[in-house]
Structure 1
Amino acid sequence: MTRLSRTSPAASERSLHQAYDTALLDLDGVVYAGGEAIAHAVESLASARVDGMHLAYVTNNALRTPDAVAEHLSELGIPTEAGEVITSAQAVARLIADQVEPGSKVLVIGGEGLRVALRERGLVPVESAEEEGLAAVVQGYGGPDLAWGRFAEASYAVNRGVPWFASNTDLTIPGARGIAPGNGAAVEVVRIATGAEPQVAGKPLPPMHRETVLRTGAKRPLVVGDRLDTDIEGAFNGEVDSLLVLTGVTDAAQLLRAEPRHRPTYVDRDLRGLLTGQPQVREVKGAWQCGGWSAVALGQTLDVARIATVPSGEPVAPEADPLDGLRALCAAAWSAAGDGACAQDAEKALATLGF
């Protein structure tokens, strides 16, 4: 993949689990939501693994340890070892270790995942800003019950000039009841109190990609995620291909408005997309066709309609997949937007497709 502006989803004659050696899978919104497996995730991942694809779970959530994540996935029916889990806690711990002396004390604002990752790098997690010789402050998602006073503790240290790090800056996190504030919202609290800026390790930034490559050894990776601003942008920054699944944060309207760095290589409903090829999106007389659908940008609107035949003259099956219509709409929107974000109204077109 190149970093040129993508103007349509790509095609793949081979199923994705055969075209790529490793799936770098986000967790929240992709494999599970609120702790429960997302529909089709367990069986899709099992099939991909049986056919030889390596699975690695790459998450910006720094709350839990790799052991805990692996145990949870295994309980869901996805056999996983701790070494197959890569977290932003591990990425930020390496980032800190590269800048401070071995054995340095680090103030932790977050969960056990951060503490374990810091110890793995020979650092000492502490709880108070008053610790003598404090070398860094690190902030990661600590769950919904993280005490408000922890943000004050971070602020005291950062205001004294202690270097500040964040595992990630995702503003939201999906859960069983909907979308909740993520670590990025907590980082904003400390930023407001200090006026400082943290060094950030998680997706979409290079430290997370570096950590993932070091731990997986992937040669032909495919990033699989639900977020444009972390998973897909991270793949763009790492110059690898990506699959967006529509089971988490990103909806169809946001996908159409995606700027170049947020445009995925492939789009599918859920993880069943790993086990299939991806259809071609063709430009035909100023319109974009995919499957049984044709899409076009007309003035201030995007339009989509059924077609009777494909360019070869073959008839289109009557049960044309609305997802193909969305792929065609992506091509119309992204082509019209160029290096910016699509400004056309797509509400009617998406309603036609049921999105």
Structure 2
Amino acid sequence: MDSQTLIDAYDTLLLDLDGVVYLGRGAVPGAPEALRRAQERGVRLAYVTNNASRTPGAIARHLTELGAPAASEDVVTSAQAAARLIAERVGPGAPVLVVGGMGLRSALRAHGLRPVSTALDEPVAVVQGIAPDLSYGLLAEGALAVRRGALFVAANGDSTMPTGRGELPGNGAMTRVIATATGVEPIVAGKPEPPLHRESMLRTGSTRPLVVGDRLDTDIEGARNAGVDSLLVLTGVAGPLDLLTAAPRHRPTFVAADLSALHRPYRGPRRDPGAWTCGGWSARWDGGRLRLDGGGEPLDGLRAACAAAWEAAGEGRADEDAVKEVLASPLRDAAPSA
């Protein structure tokens, strides 16, 4: 892909939000500008998020305030995927207990379902999504309904979510309350499970999408489950060590520092005799350890090192102790500081 920019091969960007476009309320540096350039080149932008707490309209307003081009129809949430999943299993107008925020309630209504807040309404399903004001009382109502046989659906299974203050508990962590209390595991609608990517494909009609994310276990695994290419940006959760020790389902097609990489030729690793090379770096697996020689852009070193580590690990994962040596100095600057 050295003769063209990375974005030239795709018609749609399926973009994660937290850790890719923004962190908390603030934009990731350079992200809005990169997205405006992509739209100007005729690439469709679809913001695909596991966050079910806000409505598409609210998310689009936030993005617009940050300078990113967005309308409500460009936003695809795990709440919408969860609502479609439930609507396909229950009758029109069915009561669904919402353990979460307005994003879930709005999505349920759009599918002709009736949001409720108590087990006394005999809900046929319980749907849970992250919400900053989630209370013990609402969790208790959800547990009561699930114990009585209600379908249990989680908008997403993220154990954490990135913010400007660091990683906070995500919906996956919060769903453990109802799951532990009832012994019932939720059906997950969000990434990396198929429902959210199905929702994205239905809404965009894309034929050549590129999934862009910051998490290996949601964005990248979800792209692999959908059979499409992926770009991992180092502005959110995943770092160099995570990449070097990634299992096959968590290995992205491309690795970049941030969204500005969309508008440059992508320099990927190349297999040479005895080593993987990228830029001025050469990486090889030798004596049970990852070796990295050379110099230049740290990100090129990371790409070469990942290729060597993944080749050596095969269908498994590289051992942390075997790759840590290259992280001590050569790759310490590969990820931008958030």
Of 214, 222, 227, which residue of structure 1 is paired with 2:215? 227
CA distance in 1 between partners of 2:118 and 2:22 (Å): 34
Aligned residue for 2:325? 348
CA distance in 2 between partners of 1:182 and 1:210 (Å): 22
Q: Does 1:328 align with 2:304?
A: yes
CA distance in 2 between partners of 1:175 and 1:291 (Å): 33
Aligned ranges for residues 301-340 of structure 1 at < 5 Å?
Answer: 301-306=289-294, 320-340=296-316
Conservation of the 8 A alpha-carbon contact between 2:81 and 2:189 = yes
Of 242, 263, 288, which residue of structure 2 is paired with 1:254? 242
RMSD: 1.1
Q: Structure 1 counterpart of 2:299, which letter?
A: L
Q: Does 1:215 align with 2:203?
A: yes
Secondary structure at 1:345's aligned position in 2? helix
Aligned residue for 1:174? 162
- CA distances 1:256-282 after superposition (whole Å, capped 9, x unpaired): 111111000000000011112211312
Of 17, 30, 55, which residue of structure 1 is paired with 2:45? 55
Secondary structure at 2:290's aligned position in 1? strand
Q: What percent identity do the matched residue pairs reach?
A: 56
- CA distances 1:59-118 after superposition (whole Å, capped 9, x unpaired): 000000000000000011112110000000000000000000000000000010000000
Q: How many residues end up aligned between the 2 structures?
A: 331
Q: Structure 2 counterpart of 1:152, which letter?
A: A
- CA distances 1:32-63 after superposition (whole Å, capped 9, x unpaired): 00110001101111111111111110000000
Conservation of the 8 A alpha-carbon contact between 2:92 and 2:112 = yes
CA distance in 2 between partners of 1:201 and 1:280 (Å): 33
Conservation of the 8 A alpha-carbon contact between 2:32 and 2:69 = no
Conservation of the 8 A alpha-carbon contact between 1:151 and 1:186 = no
Q: Name structure 2 gaps, 5 residues minimum.
A: 334-338
CA distance in 1 between partners of 2:32 and 2:316 (Å): 37
Moved over 6 A (4+): none
Aligned residue for 2:288? 300
Of 35, 45, 57, which residue of structure 2 is paired with 1:67? 57
Greater relative CO, 1 or 2 (CA 8 Å, sep 6+): 1
Aligned residue for 2:336? none
Aligned residue for 1:202? 190
CA distance in 1 between partners of 2:65 and 2:264 (Å): 26
**1:147 positional shift:** 1.2
CA distance in 1 between partners of 2:288 and 2:178 (Å): 41
Q: Does 1:19 align with 2:9?
A: yes
**1:353 positional shift:** 2.4
**1:12 positional shift:** 5.2
TM-score (norm 2): 0.96
Secondary structure at 1:86's aligned position in 2? strand
Q: Name structure 1 gaps, 5 residues minimum.
A: 1-10, 308-319
Aligned residue for 1:316? none
CA distance in 2 between partners of 1:338 and 1:286 (Å): 16
